[in-house]
Amino acid sequence: MEIKKINIGLIGAGFMAKAHSIAYAGMPMFFWPAPAIPVKKMIVDMNEDIARDAKDKLGFESYSTDWHDIINDPSIAVVDICTPNNAHADIAIAAAEAGKHIICEKPLALTSEQARRMYLAAKKNNVKTMVAFNYRKTPAVQLAKKYIDEGAIGEILDFRGTYLQDWSADPESPLSWRFQKAVCGSGALGDIGTHVVDMLRFLVGDFKKVNARTATYIKERPFQSGMSDSLGNARVGENTPKKAVDVDDQCIFMVECANGAFGSIEATRNAWGRNNYITFEIHGTKGSIYFNYERRDELQVCFADDAADRRGFRTVYTGPNHPYGEGLWPIPALGIGYTETKIIECYDFFRALQDGSEAAPNFRDGYAIELISDAILESARTHQWVDVKSTEE
């Protein structure tokens, strides 16, 4: 069987470049016949040593230090943006104008205004887009969506979500780009809170209003220049001057959804002992669902219709009978990892290219999440409920 090859140009050779490159290689091995064979054509990093190394390590055919080389290469059909957030908009808009399909790391942009321009450029040029909110691709999260859509927990009443990490809890960990508003846009909110927003929008529905508080507990950190980031593990030398942190360490907010459900979400990278603690619990009129990414093979469910003497949370281990099970592992509980979520993300994107459907989450979702983030930050300033603007306003 002849399967189409699609050339990829990837920009930004850090942590995410590794995750996406593994996904390009692995996707056809899991999902066969694959919707396309991704070909790792060119990788770009501003730092030539990093770019050259990444080419060899991640298996690209060529490298460059200038992302325009990807935009100007007519053989490249997909642009993959893995840079820090401040570079997303320029690259994505140039890629859309060159007619290239785009995968962009999260959050989509520095501001909702940038996100809007990205969304409109993609729409005008009719290119497919994906924002890499990969956690919704976890099979257990997709199973939660299936149960909800089938009505298995009835009408959703309320929910709560968390994303807790501890890699920035040490005040001596560096002020990397993730703490500089001009580069990242916002702190814990944009970096990790948006993942939970994406999952709960996907599961529960559109957010209508929010009421938020944010805090910056560690007011200054040793300054780290450049775009590399080892997530709290780096040390920048004892006498490194400190600079002010101008983004949130923590955000907590209440949500009212368009369908009437209420919820709360919290995000922090300063919760000692918590590593990648992404959780949600959703209560409906006929049951409840609980998920914790640190136990991502499992979905806990309770169905009100169970006999009274056996009602309670049960654990379903995802496997071949669950979403994406046809391509993953042959028995439940062999272990879903971060890589599998990225492989599924890649599969969904190439399926959209193949059949012309919309990928999800796409730039419209990414823009909607920027509008939610705006409302959260405004509410944190005013201490009022703030309405979330619609992407169509």
Q: Locate 239 and state its tokens.
A: 């006498």
3-state SS, residue 376:
helix
Nearest residue (CB) to ligand SOE, 45 versus 191: 191
x-or-dash pattern for ligand SOE, window 267-296, by CB under 6 A? --x---------------------------
Rounded least distance, CB 316 to ligand SOE, Å:
24
Q: Which is nearer to ligand SOE, 198 or 348 (CB)?
A: 198
Q: What is the number of the residue whose Cβ is closest to ligand SOE?
A: 191
Minimum CB distance to ligand SOE, residue 135 (Å): 7
CB of 151 to ligand SOE, least distance (A): 31
CB of 228 to ligand SOE, least distance (A): 13
Q: What's the Cα-to-Cα distance from 195 to each of 119, 190, 254, rounded to whole Å?
A: 19, 8, 16
> Does the footprint of ligand SOE cover residue 231 (CB under 6 A)?
yes
138, containing H or E segment:
none
The residues facing 250 across adjacent strands are: 215, 268
Q: Smallest distance, Å, CB 231 to ligand SOE?
A: 6
* Closer residue to ligand SOE in complex, CB, 186/211: 186
From 191, 198, 297, 370, residue interacting with ligand SOE (rule: CB under 6 A): 191
Number of residues that bind ligand SOE (CB under 6 A): 5
Q: Which is nearer to ligand SOE, 240 or 276 (CB)?
A: 276
Question: Which residue's CB is nearer to ligand SOE, number 269 or number 283?
Answer: 269
Least separation, in Å, of the C-beta of 58 and ligand SOE?
A: 18
Among 192, 197, 336, 371, binds ligand SOE (CB under 6 A): 192
Minimum gap (Å) between residue 293 Cβ and ligand SOE:
9
Site string for ligand SOE, 131-170 (x = CB under 6 A): ----------------------------------x-----
Task: Report the residue number, 117 or 269, with the smaller CB distance to ligand SOE.
Answer: 269
The residues of the shown chain that bind ligand SOE, judged by CB under 6 A, are: 165, 191-192, 231, 269
